Amino acid sequence: MRVDTSLDIEDIRGHFPALKSGFLFGDNSGGSQVLSEVASRTSDYLLESSVSGGADYPASQLASKRIVEAIASAAVLWNASPAEVLFGPSSTAVVNNIALAIDNDINDGEEIITTGEHESNATPWKRLVKRRPNVNLKFWNHTPIAGRESNPYAVELSANALLPLITERTRLIAFSATSNILGTANDLKEIIRRAREVGRRKGVRKLEFIVDCVAFSPHRRIDVKDWDVDYAYFSFYKIFGPHLGTAFVRESALRTSLTSLVHHFLKVEGTSGMLLPGGHGAETVYGSSAVLPYLLSLSSWKPTMVLQLKSDPEASQRQRYDVANFAELRAALGETFESIAEYEQKTHVEPVIQFLRSKWDRGVRVVGDDSLPVRADRTPTISFVVLGLGSGGSRRIVQHLDSSKIGIRNGYFYTYGLVSSLQPPIPDMNVVRVSFVHYTTEDEIRRVIRALDSAINAVTSAEASNNV
């Protein structure tokens, strides 16, 4: 039976210095606020251990220890081994490296399936196909949500739309765990299971999956082993950390699918070091290690990570340690994210969706799932448009909130393919997006709703007057 762990929002907000200003951060999908512990660890690394690791002198040993801790922390977040974890300057850079490394294992005539979601998981595959004109690219398009046909923008990624695209030539499927526009957490395990089943039936040579977890990571626990995914990635700055990308690459993919991108004399075969040309920004990597202990502190028993030295003297730095209490940490993360999901559903998603649907007569349409009661897979990344507003309409709504010290945004948020495909076309390809995380309070949600109500009324009234 699950232990009740109500979130102490006041205590939580104390970890985020930026929240003390009184400004309401409603653009968390664009980047969450940063834990004070992240800043402290980043500073500590720069001031105490800003040297190359791997040497025998004390500062170098400290640098090595800190990187090992960061790698182990990320492995717990992924539910992976440290050898399967890597870092990079951004999610897009990480995927670009994977696309370069996998090139030699994609045969002429094979196919890649991608979506119109965030371009980090689309552009690298478009470039690969441009380099390799005999490799084909297919698009898994969004389809209407059953029961919400009255809203033309209520769309989703459906497994039923994916499966007919799979042939004996399908090599890779690239998609998102959660859209940074639509805000619904996809059933990854079921999608991948069904796709692999079709692939086996069709006789594919090799079928792998790469999943964008960026918009998913602040709201749900990542579990690459349970999902049966081959590659996945997210950005730490979306989950309370520094500007840093991280990825999981399955061990079997490291051994059989990828070619090393690093210097030829480095012994990195079979490890994620193959994908780290030039290494990583060590201070931000160590800063990212503060995210796991913070999330664990939100569970009922607040465990801490215990590293255990392996007996293998030949093990590389990232493989030299095991997390002795890995299962305990994963269980605590599960509890934390259950609490986060429950809080966000009740405090953020339900009232905002209810409000936006109440503005139907004003032309407001949610982009994504607007079902009531809200589904359990709905996260507090909520986008909408207002029918009848011309060019600049979404921007004018956002500007109204700017004056109330509330930060939200308009745009297509690098999700060009999806937004450009929506019908009827959205002026300027600009949706309005509000996005919250667990430090957003109930009072702040009320404040956002009041401000949106005023903005929508003002902008639509002005538009109506101009059209008289």
The percentage of the chain sitting over the pLDDT mark of 70, rounded to a whole number, equals: 96
Average pLDDT over the chain, rounded to an integer: 96
CB-based contact 420:399 (threshold 8 Å): no
Q: Which residue from 126, 137, 231, 241 is spatially nearest to 177, judged by alpha carbons?
A: 231
Q: By three-state DSSP, how is residue 77 classified? A: helix
Q: Which residues contact 55 (CB under 8 A, 6 or more apart)?
A: 61
Alpha-carbon torsion 126, 281, 225, 38, what sign?
negative
CB-based contact 217:239 (threshold 8 Å): yes
Q: By three-state DSSP, how is residue 215 classified? A: coil
Helix 326-344 with 58-78: angle, nearest 10 deg = 60
> What is the C-alpha to C-alpha distance for residues 433 and 425, in angstroms, rounded to an integer?
17
pLDDT at 13: 98
Q: CATH for 43-335, among 3.40.50.970, 3.20.20.70, 3.10.20.30, 3.40.640.10?
A: 3.40.640.10
Q: Give the chain's residues under pLDDT 70.
A: 1-5, 311-319, 468
> What is the C-alpha to C-alpha distance for residues 230 and 173, in angstroms, rounded to an integer?
10
pLDDT at 3: 44
pLDDT at 460: 96
pLDDT at 310: 78
DSSP state of 178: B
Give the Cα-Cα-Cα angle 134, 138, 140 (nearest 5 degrees): 165
Residue at token pair 């990320």 = 74
* Intervals of CATH 3.90.1150.10 along the chain: 9-33+338-466
DSSP state of 20: G
Calculate the alpha carbon distances from 172 to 175, 388, 390, 449 in Å: 10, 40, 39, 42
pLDDT at 1: 33
- Domain at 9-33+338-466: CATH code: 3.90.1150.10
> What is the C-alpha to C-alpha distance for residues 325 and 131, in angstroms, rounded to an integer?
45
* Intervals of CATH 3.40.640.10 along the chain: 43-335
Q: By three-state DSSP, how is residue 27 classified? A: strand
Query: In terms of pTM, does the model score above 0.85?
Result: yes
Return the structure tokens found at 21: 């200003």
Write the DSSP assignment of 235-282 as a string of letters: EGGGTTS-S-EEEEE-HHHHHHT----S-TTS--TTSGGGG-TT---H
Return the structure tokens found at 85: 């974890």
Return the structure tokens found at 451: 């401000």
